[in-house]
């Protein structure tokens, strides 16, 4: 088992997807992308082989945040934006748990933006699944911090003025050690990304493009439509040249003049220049540049997969180490001695 | 001489009264000293200087010396919110008042008998508080024209008659300090910095304080800069010797240890925040749970975060969060995981935490919310005290979200109050407010150190298996099935097989905990949560009414205990009858409170707010109370409170 999960007790018997389904009726809108993600997560969990009682899902508020109710694990549906903070308290005090955060674009990037970036920089052992549908669903259709500029919604009848966040760029800027992007409808890819996230020691952020068929239907269609996807999706695989396109004829190269990345048509002359994806690179520079390739309006040239997966010290491990070091240096705490301190006097009765 | 010595009559009644006429009395034992020594029963000293003059440190050290000597004492640090306010200005004045006595005392004292003024600003800012005849030690070196002009002295108060009514000791503290340190090879500026230690040495001589620990303290504090340590020790000794040799200080004073005021035991001096920190560590030990603090720095609560951070060898985890909301969020997450979870803050932080407190009410998990109240609204007075968060603690949430409230009454009592708050949180699975304030947090007093085995047993049980049988005989776990007595729900922590369950902020179905929007269920759950809080066991209110015939009751809560009790002593010493009671539990109130209120013709409720407890009492018991309020950022003065009580009695 990986470093990330070595303290979490293992399941005694083989588990199945059914073990992870709670008895609660799933109440998302019919056709919601959340169903596919729920099925993928429930289907993936048995693979981890962890004791179910040592898995916790914590969520904030929003459609996606109903997720924990449907998982037959421990769970908490908390308050808007605060799930990373609550999960941090749980994960740092209970290293025998596998703690997952389920959040949405509004929950994680708007009201909870502060907690998200700080969880990422601390590198607490959390797996954060960010369901990004680029819209507010639960409040019925206002634009979100990932909506494209000019979005016409109930609260922006003349078009939204805000420039959107790119969650992957944001996470890399916040010192995230693991950042990935995947799509609700691509179960195989989603599962593979979850697999890598679960194995990562520290905070893993997984952005999942998720369709809201009520308020923002088809938002990710360019990535899902078989024909369009060939030109729109760039699949990142560690150690592989970054190529895509109908005949795999496009590639990503570094612009020698600016250092930035650009897409070229692959020719025998430039084939050797095609960037080989290195998710484990110590520097976040290239991962960040990859996150900027996508056009926020058309979604063309959208990389999916693991952008960055690097090892750095894990907060909860270090916190536990400090406790141990304190005991080594000072001995286990003696309450009587603590209360007495150094300056006392005695009154005889 | 001045008014340092209390009259024999006053000494017989250990009341907190203005010091009376001087009655010199020779010391009875030992050979006659070189200088006259007078015995006092109590003294109030105020050290005042610029924010950078080290007055808080000086006061702390004098307090420590006094504590180890065995006097009863009470302190009042008073400093600006700015770390270094402009030098030499009135807003930049920092002071530390210490009251010590040979009997038990309750407050830092109303008016200083001795003022140490390190500069013109310190003199100007504090002079009005010194009674005529009081003793003033001034650092004459700082009384240059410009420094005096800065605070509006056109002529020197040392020469123009301003101080004629006082017993003034002009001392060139800066010059003497520099002279004493001339062989240390320090710059003038470095030498000057030790002038507070010179002043401390002088005062230590005047009041016969033991000095060993101060020298030890200085050597430890400056362990990395031994030459600075030795310079400070030298300045301290020079100050002592100055008192011993100079003609200006003809008399020194003794204040005997307050042995008879204290039950037998081992004592130390302790501040409210330190006592509260120790209370939390002790509560975790008594509950056999790990302590988890999620906090964001805020004055005057930060010292609890600092203190707990030092004790990782007790298994204490401290998490400095990105904001107040994350501080309580992390604590709540740790509570879900089975820790004794705490968040510490002050009023503005409570405002930010409100939504999470509501979630904790709904989740029914144990959580301590420590609010070290300060002046408000908004940023208000960060370094000054107030009791104006009572209604915020009581009602400051959306929906019906009752939270028990516990309030310590003295610095040392913060220890017991923390244990009591933990008891309620763990027994009833509820967030609990612990309402301290800036006055308790930074003030200090002697504390009888408890033996760990005297502490209450706070052990609690996690759920380990099914607690309900369905109609078909299936055994299940219901996270919201309650203990019939306490109405507490089971605490089932992750990692417990078979008890997997989901909790959340949405209304839960009674028993199963599943989401429920059923109107009748919501009504039931709201009433049940209220009933759980109302049912928290708190001891009956005890009334101190020595004659049993008083017609006026004074009722307080929290940190006003000291000033109220001191005022009550004055009233009684003057021959009037008054009953006194003090609330530790503000929610729920003690069961007998209504009856107590109805027993008296008049009930006076002094508070450092605009009448928040009075509002609660009137609403709950339909009893009119006389609300006496003060929101100056400073604690009540006993003398003024006594007048208020006297007026009520005579009314």
pLDDT in tens, B423-441: 999 999 999 999 999 999 9
Structural domain includes residue A309: yes
Q: Running DSSP on this structure, what letter comes out for residue B582?
A: E
CB distance B222 to B229 below 8 Å: yes
Considering only CB atoms, A347 lies closest to which of B259, B329, B339, namely B259
Q: How far is B267 from chain A (nearest CA, A)?
A: 5
Q: How far is A308 from chain B (nearest CA, A)?
A: 24
- Say how many residues make up chain B: 651
Cα(B309)–Cα(B305) distance, rounded to whole angstroms? 6
Structural domain includes residue A333: no
Cα(B568)–Cα(B641) distance, rounded to whole angstroms? 8
Distances (CA, A) of A316 to A70, A116, A349, B311, B487: 28, 16, 49, 17, 35
Structure tokens at A74: 């421990």
Please give the share of chain B, as a percent, with pLDDT higher than 70. Answer: 95
Query: What is residue B20's predicted lDDT score, i.e. its pLDDT?
Result: 39
Shared domain for A285 and A221, answered yes or no, is yes
Please give the share of chain B, as a percent, with pLDDT higher than 90. Answer: 90
**What is the average pLDDT across B118-144?**
96
pLDDT in tens, B76-116: 999 888 887 888 999 999 999 999 999 999 999 999 999 99
Shared domain for A161 and A133, answered yes or no, is yes
Query: What is residue B68's predicted lDDT score, i.e. its pLDDT?
Result: 86
Query: What is residue A349's predicted lDDT score, i.e. its pLDDT?
Result: 67
Structural domain includes residue A130: yes
pLDDT in tens, B267-311: 999 999 999 999 999 999 999 999 999 999 999 999 999 999 999
Strands of the B367-373 sheet, one edge to the other: B317-320, B291-295, B340-345, B367-373, B431-437, B405-406, B585-587
Query: What is residue A345's predicted lDDT score, i.e. its pLDDT?
Result: 86
CATH 3.40.50.920 in chain B: give the residue spans.
543-650
Query: What is residue A135's predicted lDDT score, i.e. its pLDDT?
Result: 96
Neighbours of B575 (CB within 10 A): 6
CATH 3.40.50.970 in chain B: give the residue spans.
267-454
Give yes or no for A332 touching B (CB within 8 A).
Answer: yes
Helical H runs in A71-166?
83-93, 105-106, 113-122
**What is the average pLDDT across B572-581?**
97
The DSSP line for A224-264 is HSHHHHHHHEEEE-TTSB-EESTTS-EEEEE-TTTS-EEEE
Give yes or no for A318 touching B (CB within 8 A).
Answer: no
Give yes or no for A348 touching B (CB within 8 A).
Answer: yes
Q: How far is A35 from chain B (nearest CA, A)?
A: 19
Interchain CB contacts (distance < 8 Å): A and B: 209
Shared domain for A78 and A185, answered yes or no, is yes
pLDDT in tens, B609-646: 999 999 999 999 999 999 999 999 999 999 999 999 99
Q: Which residue of B has its CA nearest to A67?
A: B502
Query: What is residue B261's predicted lDDT score, i.e. its pLDDT?
Result: 80
**What is the average pLDDT across B214-221?**
93
Which residues, at least 6 apart from B642, have a Cβ–Cβ distance to it below 8 Å?
Answer: B566, B567, B568, B570, B571, B574
| Interface contact B268-A92, CB threshold 8 A | no
Residue A91's SS3 state is helix
Inform me whether the pLDDT recorded for B601 exceeds 80: yes
| Interface contact B290-A93, CB threshold 8 A | yes
Residues of chain A where predicted confidence (pLDDT) is lower than 70: 1-2, 349
Q: What is the CATH number of domain B267-454?
A: 3.40.50.970
Q: Which residue of A has its CA nearest to B497?
A: A53
Looking at per-residue pLDDT, the higher value among B13 and B362 belongs to B362
Q: Which residues pair with A253 in a beta bridge?
A: A262
Considering only CB atoms, A89 lies closest to which of B282, B330, B504, namely B330
CB distance B124 to B103 below 8 Å: no
Structural domain includes residue A94: yes
pLDDT in tens, B235-266: 999 999 999 999 889 899 999 988 778 899 99
Q: How many helices (H) and strands (E) does chain A have?
A: 11, 12
Query: What is residue A343's predicted lDDT score, i.e. its pLDDT?
Result: 80
Considering only CB atoms, A323 lies closest to which of B315, B337, B363, namely B315
Shared domain for A78 and A192, answered yes or no, is yes
ipTM of predicted complex: 0.97
Structural domain includes residue A335: no
Contacts of A93 in chain B (CB under 8 A): 290, 292, 317, 333-334, 337-339
pLDDT in tens, B489-528: 999 999 999 999 999 999 999 999 999 999 999 999 999 9
Structural domain includes residue A25: yes
pLDDT in tens, A95-149: 999 999 999 999 999 999 999 999 999 999 999 999 999 999 999 999 999 999 9
**A84: CATH:** 3.40.50.970
**Bridge pairing between strands A55-59 and B475-476:** unpaired
Query: What is residue B7's predicted lDDT score, i.e. its pLDDT?
Result: 31
Residue B29's SS3 state is coil
Q: Running DSSP on this structure, what letter comes out for residue B496?
A: -
Q: Is B239 exposed, middle or buried (0-12, 13-18, 19+ CB in 10 A)?
A: buried
Shared domain for A185 and A267, answered yes or no, is no
Cα(B646)–Cα(B651) distance, rounded to whole angstroms? 8
Q: What is the CATH number of domain B543-650?
A: 3.40.50.920
Chain B 275-334, CB below 8 Å of chain A: which residues?
A: 278, 281-282, 285, 290, 292, 294, 311-315, 317, 319, 321-323, 325-326, 329-334
Distances (CA, A) of B210 to A5, B68, B376, B448, B531: 58, 8, 40, 20, 55
Give yes or no for B501 touching A (CB within 8 A).
Answer: yes
Query: What is residue B248's predicted lDDT score, i.e. its pLDDT?
Result: 87
Give yes or no for A346 touching B (CB within 8 A).
Answer: yes
CATH 3.40.920.10 in chain B: give the residue spans.
41-256
Structural domain includes residue A337: no
Residue B544's SS3 state is strand
Cα(A59)–Cα(A282) distance, rounded to whole angstroms? 31
- Say how many residues make up chain A: 349
**Nearest partner of B593 among B616, B568, B576, B611, judged by Cα:** B616
Query: What is the distance of C-alpha A282 from the center of its chain?
Result: 19
Shared domain for A197 and A144, answered yes or no, is yes
- DSSP H or E stretch at residue A208: strand A204-209
Shared domain for A214 and A86, answered yes or no, is yes
Structural domain includes residue A12: yes
pLDDT band for B189, please (50, 70, 90 cuts): very high
Inform me whether the pLDDT recorded for B16 exceeds 80: no
Residue B436's SS3 state is strand
Contacts of A67 in chain B (CB under 8 A): none
Shared domain for A150 and A259, answered yes or no, is no
Mean pLDDT of chain B: 93
Query: What is residue B34's predicted lDDT score, i.e. its pLDDT?
Result: 67
The number of distinct structural domains making up chain A is 2
Q: Which domain holds residue A81?
A: 3-239+278-327
Q: What is the CATH number of domain B41-256?
A: 3.40.920.10
Q: Which residue of A has its CA nearest to B284?
A: A335
Angle between the N-to-C axes of helices B324-336 and B347-363, in degrees from 0 to 180, rounded to the nearest 10: 30
Instruction: Show the beta-strand stretches assigned E in B418-526.
Output: 431-437, 444-448, 468-469, 475-476, 502-504
Shared domain for A291 and A245, answered yes or no, is no
């Amino acid at each position: 088992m990986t470093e990330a999960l070595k303290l979490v007790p293992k399941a005694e018997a083989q588990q199945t997807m059914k073990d992870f389904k709670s008895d609660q009726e799933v109440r998302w809108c019919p056709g919601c992308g959340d169903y596919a993600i729920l099925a993928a997560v429930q289907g993936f969990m048995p693979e981890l082989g962890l004791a179910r009682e040592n898995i916790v899902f914590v969520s904030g508020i929003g459609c996606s945040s109903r997720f924990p109710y449907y998982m037959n694990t421990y769970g908490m549906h908390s308050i808007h934006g605060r799930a990373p903070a609550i999960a941090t308290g749980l994960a740092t005090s209970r290293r025998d748990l596998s703690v997952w955060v389920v959040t949405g674009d509004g929950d994680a990037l708007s009201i909870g933006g502060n907690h998200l970036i700080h969880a990422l920089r601390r590198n607490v052992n959390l797996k954060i699944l960010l369901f990004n549908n680029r819209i507010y669903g639960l409040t019925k259709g206002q634009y979100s911090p990932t909506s494209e500029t000019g979005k016409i919604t109930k609260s922006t009848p003349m078009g939204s003025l805000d420039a959107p966040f790119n969650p992957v760029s944001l996470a890399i800027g916040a010192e995230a050690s693991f950042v990935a992007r995947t799509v609700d409808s691509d179960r195989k890819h989603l599962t593979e990304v979850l697999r890598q996230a679960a194995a990562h020691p520290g905070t893993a952020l997984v952005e999942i493009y998720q369709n809201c068929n009520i308020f923002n239907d088809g938002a990710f269609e360019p990535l899902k439509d078989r024909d369009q996807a060939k030109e729109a999706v760039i699949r990142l695989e560690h150690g592989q040249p970054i190529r895509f396109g109908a005949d795999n004829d496009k590639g990503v190269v570094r612009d020698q003049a600016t250092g930035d990345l650009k897409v070229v048509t692959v020719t025998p002359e430039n084939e050797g220049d095609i960037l080989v994806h290195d998710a484990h690179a110590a520097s976040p520079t290239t991962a960040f540049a990859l996150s900027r390739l996508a056009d926020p309006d058309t979604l063309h040239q959208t990389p999916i997969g693991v952008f960055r997966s690097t090892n750095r010290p894990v907060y909860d491990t270090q916190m536990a180490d400090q406790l141990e070091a304190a005991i080594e240096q000072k001995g286990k705490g003696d309450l009587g001695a603590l209360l007495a301190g150094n300056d006392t006097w005695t009154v005889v009765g | 001489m001045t008014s340092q010595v209390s009259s024999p009559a006053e000494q017989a009644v250990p009341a907190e009264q203005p010091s009376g006429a001087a009655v010199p009395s020779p010391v009875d034992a030992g050979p006659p000293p070189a200088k006259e020594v007078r015995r006092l029963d109590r003294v109030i000293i105020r050290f005042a200087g610029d924010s950078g003059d080290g007055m808080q440190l000086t006061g702390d050290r004098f307090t420590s010396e006094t504590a180890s000597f065995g006097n009863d004492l009470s302190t009042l640090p008073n400093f600006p919110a700015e770390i270094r306010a402009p030098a030499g200005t009135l807003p930049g004045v920092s002071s530390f008042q210490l009251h010590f006595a040979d009997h038990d005392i309750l407050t830092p004292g109303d008016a200083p008998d001795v003022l140490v003024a390190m500069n013109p600003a310190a003199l100007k800012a504090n002079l009005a508080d010194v009674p005529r005849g009081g003793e003033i030690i001034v650092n004459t070196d700082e009384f240059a024209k410009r420094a005096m002009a800065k605070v509006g002295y056109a002529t020197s108060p040392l020469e123009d008659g301003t101080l004629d009514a006082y017993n003034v000791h002009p001392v060139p503290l800066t010059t003497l300090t520099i002279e004493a340190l001339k062989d240390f090879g320090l710059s003038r500026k470095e030498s000057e910095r030790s002038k507070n230690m010179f002043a401390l040495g002088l005062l230590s001589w005047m009041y016969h304080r033991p000095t060993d620990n101060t020298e030890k303290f200085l050597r430890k504090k400056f362990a990395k800069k031994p030459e600075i340590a030795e310079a400070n020790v030298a300045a301290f000794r020079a100050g002592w010797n100055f008192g011993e040799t100079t003609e200006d200080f003809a008399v020194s004073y003794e204040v005997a240890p307050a042995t008879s005021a204290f039950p037998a035991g081992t004592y130390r001096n302790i501040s409210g925040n330190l006592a509260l920190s120790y209370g939390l560590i002790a509560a975790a030990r008594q509950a056999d749970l790990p302590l988890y603090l999620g906090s964001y720095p805020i004055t005057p609560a930060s010292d609890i975060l600092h203190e707990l951070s030092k004790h990782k060898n007790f298994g204490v985890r401290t998490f400095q969060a990105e904001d107040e909301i994350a501080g309580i969020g992390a604590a709540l997450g740790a509570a879900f995981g089975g820790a004794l979870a705490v968040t510490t803050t002050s009023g503005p932080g409570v405002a930010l935490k409100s939504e999470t407190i509501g979630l904790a009410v709904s989740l029914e998990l144990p959580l301590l919310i420590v609010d070290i109240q300060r002046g408000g609204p908004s940023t208000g007075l960060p370094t000054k005290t107030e009791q104006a968060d009572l209604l915020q603690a009581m009602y400051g949430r959306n929906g019906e979200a009752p939270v028990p409230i516990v309030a310590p009454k003295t610095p040392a009592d913060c220890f017991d109050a923390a244990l009591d708050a933990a008891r309620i949180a763990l027994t009833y699975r509820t967030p609990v407010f612990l309402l301290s304030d800036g006055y308790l947090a930074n003030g200090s007093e002697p504390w009888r150190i408890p033996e760990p085995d005297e502490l209450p047993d706070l052990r609690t049980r996690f759920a380990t298996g099914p607690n309900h049988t369905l109609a078909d005989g299936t055994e299940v776990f219901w996270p919201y099935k309650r203990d019939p007595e306490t109405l507490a729900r089971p605490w089932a922590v992750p990692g417990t097989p078979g008890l997997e369950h989901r909790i959340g902020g949405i209304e839960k179905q009674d028993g199963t905990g599943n989401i429920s929007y059923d109107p009748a269920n919501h009504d039931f759950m709201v009433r049940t949560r209220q009933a759980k809080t109302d049912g928290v066991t708190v001891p009956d209110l005890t009334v101190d009414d020595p004659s049993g015939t008083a017609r006026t009751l004074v009722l307080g809560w929290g940190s006003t205990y000291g000033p109220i009790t001191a005022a009550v002593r004055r009233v009684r010493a003057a021959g009037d009858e008054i009953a006194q009671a003090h609330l530790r539990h503000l929610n729920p109130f003690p069961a007998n409170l209504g009856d107590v209120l109805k027993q008296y013709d008049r009930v006076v409720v002094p508070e450092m707010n605009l009448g928040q407890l009075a509002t609660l009492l009137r609403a709950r018991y339909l009893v009119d109370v006389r609300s006496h309020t003060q929101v100056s950022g400073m604690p009540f003065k006993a003398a003024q409170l006594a007048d208020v009580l006297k007026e009520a009695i005579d009314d």
